[in-house]
């Protein structure tokens, strides 16, 4: 019993530290469900969501707080081989957020997202949209590099997804663009979504429009599909009320 309570407490503290103020659970009317005898008053408050979440500070502060909370993460086995945790970079006040899959070799070395070959193509897309990398925010579903760039495993996504969710909640971008199949399926929690069918159409993530498009690494191998990503980007620009970027 005590072990289970400790596990629940630790999970709730985790969600609280991520800034969740409420939990989607129904609490029985007072008196019906007696609290477990070894629970303290504070635990009941956490469970009922009455303790304030730590939402002080501006968006930069909140992102820093989240980064501090992640710490020298050992929550999944990717921690064993990574060099750097790649948290994300860009403008905390961004209206447009790009979400990729996981760091590759170069990102793992530099601790920054999308700084390798695929990153250069993403930078060119951003610039073609008439924006700079500093205008947008770029992050990945997974913060540590999977060995030999294999697909992240379900438990690795599960260990990390709270962090991208919290980054989105802090930044509250106007539009999200997901890059590639894994980012799309992981963010939307829908393993059956197909990138070729889903791209080009807005989806909804907690009220934020999400435009799925191809991964830049895929586009490097299939340059003819760059046209399709550009048409997805134009829909994003229209949503942002921006003109269609710089024509090249
Ligand atoms: N691919 C990704 O999905 N993310 C990066 O940061 C780099 C390459
Ligand atoms: N398959 C992927 O995983 N990503 C793409 O962007 C395209 C095909």
Instruction: Give the DSSP H or E segment for 2.
Output: helix 2-17
* Tens of pLDDT, residues 146-155: 999 999 999 9
Cβ atoms of 202 and 211 closer than 8 Å: yes
**Residue position matching structure tokens 């890059």:** 179
Residue 195, ligand 2, Cβ within 6 A = yes
pLDDT one digit per residue (tens) for the chain, 248 residues: 455 655 566 656 666 666 555 554 444 444 334 444 443 333 333 333 333 344 557 999 999 999 999 999 999 999 999 999 999 999 999 999 999 999 999 999 999 999 999 999 999 999 999 999 999 999 999 999 999 999 999 999 999 999 999 999 999 999 999 999 999 999 999 999 999 999 999 999 999 999 999 999 999 999 999 999 999 999 999 999 998 665 44
What superfamily in CATH does domain 88-248 come from?
Uracil-DNA glycosylase-like domain (3.40.470.10)
Token readout for 137 is: 């925010």
- Spacing, Cα 139 to ligand 2 middle (Å): 17
CA of 9 to the centre of ligand 1 (A): 34
Any idea which residue has 């790009």 for tokens?
A: 98
* Largest distance between two CA atoms of the chain: 68
Least distant ligand from the CA of 120 = 1
Q: Which helix (H) or strand (E) holds 100?
A: strand 96-100
Give pLDDT tens digits for 42-55: 333 333 333 334 45
What is the residue with the minimal CA distance to atom 4 of ligand 2? 180
C-alpha 228 to ligand 2 mean position (Å): 13
Give distance in angstroms: CA of 140 to centre of ligand 1: 7
216 lines ligand 2 (CB under 6 A): no
Domains of the chain, by residue range, sit at 1-71, 88-248
Torsion of CA 10, 16, 22, 23, to 10 degrees: -30
C-beta of 175 in contact with ligand 2 (< 6 A): no
For residues 150 and 142, what is the distance between their CA atoms, to the nearest angstrom?
12
């Amino acid at each position: 019993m005590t072990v289970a309570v400790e596990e629940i407490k630790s999970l709730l503290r985790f969600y609280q530290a991520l800034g969740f103020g409420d939990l989607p659970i129904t609490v029985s009317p007072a008196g019906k469900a007696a609290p477990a005898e070894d629970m303290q008053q504070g635990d009941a408050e956490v469970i009922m969501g009455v303790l304030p979440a730590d939402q002080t500070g501006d968006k930069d502060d909140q992102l820093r707080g989240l980064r501090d909370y992640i710490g020298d993460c050992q929550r999944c086995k990717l921690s064993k081989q990574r060099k750097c945790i790649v948290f994300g970079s860009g403008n905390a006040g961004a209206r447009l957020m790009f979400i990729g899959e996981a760091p590759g070799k170069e990102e793992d070395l530099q601790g920054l997202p999308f700084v390798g070959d695929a990153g250069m193509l993403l930078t060119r897309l951003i610039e073609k949209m008439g924006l700079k990398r500093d205008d947008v925010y770029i992050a990945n579903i997974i913060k540590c590099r999977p060995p030999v760039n294999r697909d992240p495993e379900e438990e690795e996504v599960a260990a990390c997804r709270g962090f991208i969710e919290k980054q989105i909640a802090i930044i509250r971008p106007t539009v999200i663009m997901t890059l590639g199949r894994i980012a799309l399926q992981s963010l939307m929690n829908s393993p059956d979504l197909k990138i070729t069918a889903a791209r080009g159409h807005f989806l909804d993530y907690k009220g934020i429009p999400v435009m799925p498009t191809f991964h830049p690494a895929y586009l490097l191998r299939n340059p003819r599909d760059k046209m399709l990503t550009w048409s997805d980007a134009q829909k994003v620009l229209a949503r942002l009320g921006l003109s269609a970027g710089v024509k090249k």
